[in-house]
Copies of this chain bind each other. A is one copy, B any other.
């Protein structure tokens, strides 16, 4: 399609203002056409008004109707995955196979939510039947189910231009719940965003939905995003990005006259605990696996292992040597933007003045300002505990090895940790069983515990949790990946003594949708 650089305001497009910005090819530094026009504050307001109007009808659609919309969007992404991956490759320098895979994941994510809401049990329907003879007072007829919150502002992430962006998990789960979505497109991949927005707009039109169900606004700064989060008609916020950006949105959402939920997935060191038995098994295989994980996507994954706690045990030197050698022969990585690359260079150089740099890949020769060196640092546990800033995530291809020489060091390290998306433990069954207290402690520090694997790779299913205690996310009670993500955007509503004809089908006596429900707290028996 021909890109125009204008925001999406339902069935019309935003104005082409005088000011504009361009995407930049990280591999060449060249600006990419077209010019992108930041939405005006009047356009932000128009978009939110549209979304709020759309909510009246969209909140009343059936799960089947929303499933059709989600599947049409998924089909659109699949049909245009080559076009999407090509543009995304220009804008992010992520490899084509990865981007084609991400397109597939994005489409599958939309289909997962389609299946979820088509089946319908996600609404957690509950019926407490009336007890007219109960003493001391009768019980009325009480029924409840989840209903959508209202318009949701979604902030696209830089590092997943498809799966955590315009039609990513936040958008898919908000749509599934019955919420209109207002996307603030990430300025690093506006062209990719524009193609996806075109797909979503067409899907909404083809399904006969109110055009305000989906809007998308461009901006290279913070004005549009701030205005969205402050707007009285916006009911929730979803964000994936930096701790600074996420915390700013959390603070804005909490400071509103009427605070709204803000789900921000922000920053995580994803600690990895290497027990002695894991070092014994195959130190160089372990090094290869870890190297692959912290350099995946140029180290720009939310689940990159940024802190590796290594037992002082036979094999630790072989492991370190193998890792060093992999790092020293690594090719230059291309980061997503010049800003990210600049920050990466600055923070890793500062860290090298603070603690020992154990290895680095050769300094890049090429001209691109987005190239980065792969680096690993080492530190002993005492120094790690004494310098809390070492827990801060450095976005890019690096990790920090923490040597844990004494018994009890793992527990001390785990106690000191803030919240993370994941925690990983490597060791054989016997070793793991001996570290039960460590495992129980890590459960309080992370949303996902991984045994004998790597943290990168977040499966989109029903049991996945991609969320953890602060600062990894704003609220550990929710996840942004997997079908549980829908619960961020829904609230229970209770109907007391409501006539059958006025009840949503989910709560009617005959259970016309055949969904799983709780009757008086017990699963309803369904007739076949």
**Could you list which residues of chain A lie within 8 angstroms of chain B, going by C-beta atoms?**
55-56, 59-60, 101, 104, 115-116, 126-128, 136-137, 139-140, 142-144, 147, 149-150, 250-251, 254-255, 258-261, 418-419, 429, 432-433, 436, 439-440, 443-444, 446-453, 457, 459, 461-465, 467, 469-471, 474-477, 479, 483-484, 487-488, 490-499, 501-502, 516, 518, 520-521, 523
The answer to whether A494 and B136 have CB atoms under 8 Å apart is no
The answer to whether B139 and A461 have CB atoms under 8 Å apart is yes
The answer to whether B259 and A254 have CB atoms under 8 Å apart is yes
Shortest Cβ distance from residue A30 to the other chain B in the assembled complex, whole angstroms: 31
Contact A493-B465, Cβ < 8 Å, known A150-B444, A502-B439:
yes
Shortest Cβ distance from residue A118 to the other chain B in the assembled complex, whole angstroms: 12
- Of the candidates B143, B259, B470, the one whose C-beta lies within 8 Å of that of A470 is B259
The answer to whether A516 and B523 have CB atoms under 8 Å apart is yes
CB neighbours (8 Å) of A496 from chain B are: 448-451, 453
Q: How far is the CA of A144 from the CA of B481 in the complex (A)?
A: 13
CB neighbours (8 Å) of A139 from chain B are: 459, 461
CB neighbours (8 Å) of A433 from chain B are: 499, 501-502
Q: How far is the CA of A138 from the CA of B525 in the complex (A)?
A: 35
CB neighbours (8 Å) of A104 from chain B are: 136
Q: How far is the CA of A70 from the CA of B56 in the complex (A)?
A: 43
Shortest Cβ distance from residue A18 to the other chain B in the assembled complex, whole angstroms: 38
The answer to whether A491 and B463 have CB atoms under 8 Å apart is no
12 A-B pairs whose Cβ atoms sit less than 8 Å apart in the complex: A104-B136, A128-B459, A128-B462, A144-B465, A259-B470, A447-B491, A452-B497, A463-B494, A464-B494, A476-B491, A477-B487, A484-B492
Q: How far is the CA of A429 from the CA of B502 in the complex (A)?
A: 9
The answer to whether B259 and A250 have CB atoms under 8 Å apart is yes
CB neighbours (8 Å) of A142 from chain B are: 459, 461, 463-464
Closest Cβ neighbor of A436 among chain B residues: B502
The answer to whether B258 and A432 have CB atoms under 8 Å apart is no
Q: How far is the CA of A119 from the CA of B524 in the complex (A)?
A: 16
- Of the candidates B59, B251, B498, the one whose C-beta lies within 8 Å of that of A254 is B251
The answer to whether A258 and B418 have CB atoms under 8 Å apart is yes
Shortest Cβ distance from residue A269 to the other chain B in the assembled complex, whole angstroms: 15
Additional 11 contacts, C-beta under 8 A, given A115-B521, A469-B491, A523-B523: A104-B136, A126-B484, A128-B459, A128-B464, A140-B459, A251-B254, A447-B493, A447-B494, A449-B496, A462-B518, A477-B487
The answer to whether B429 and A463 have CB atoms under 8 Å apart is no
Shortest Cβ distance from residue A354 to the other chain B in the assembled complex, whole angstroms: 22
Closest Cβ neighbor of A251 among chain B residues: B254
Q: How far is the CA of A36 from the CA of B338 in the complex (A)?
A: 62
Q: How far is the CA of A476 from the CA of B419 in the complex (A)?
A: 25
The answer to whether A477 and B497 have CB atoms under 8 Å apart is no
Shortest Cβ distance from residue A457 to the other chain B in the assembled complex, whole angstroms: 7
Q: How far is the CA of A60 from the CA of B436 in the complex (A)?
A: 12
CB neighbours (8 Å) of A498 from chain B are: 449, 451
8 tightest CB-CB pairs across the interface, nearest first?
A254-B254, A465-B494, A126-B463, A462-B521, A448-B494, A128-B461, A258-B470, A128-B463
Contact A448-B493, Cβ < 8 Å, known A128-B462, A142-B459, A463-B143:
yes
Contact A491-B477, Cβ < 8 Å, known A433-B502, A440-B60, A521-B462:
yes
The answer to whether B461 and A494 have CB atoms under 8 Å apart is no
- Of the candidates B56, B126, B418, B483, the one whose C-beta lies within 8 Å of that of A462 is B126
Most buried by B among A432, A483, A496, A502: A496
Q: How far is the CA of A476 from the CA of B494 in the complex (A)?
A: 12
The answer to whether A474 and B259 have CB atoms under 8 Å apart is yes
The answer to whether B429 and A261 have CB atoms under 8 Å apart is no
The answer to whether A476 and B144 have CB atoms under 8 Å apart is no
Contact A59-B453, Cβ < 8 Å, known A465-B493, A470-B258, A491-B476:
no
The answer to whether A59 and B259 have CB atoms under 8 Å apart is no
Closest Cβ neighbor of A145 among chain B residues: B463
CB neighbours (8 Å) of A493 from chain B are: 443, 446-449, 465
Q: How far is the CA of A399 from the CA of B254 in the complex (A)?
A: 31
Closest Cβ neighbor of A449 among chain B residues: B495
The answer to whether B250 and A443 have CB atoms under 8 Å apart is no
CB neighbours (8 Å) of A474 from chain B are: 259
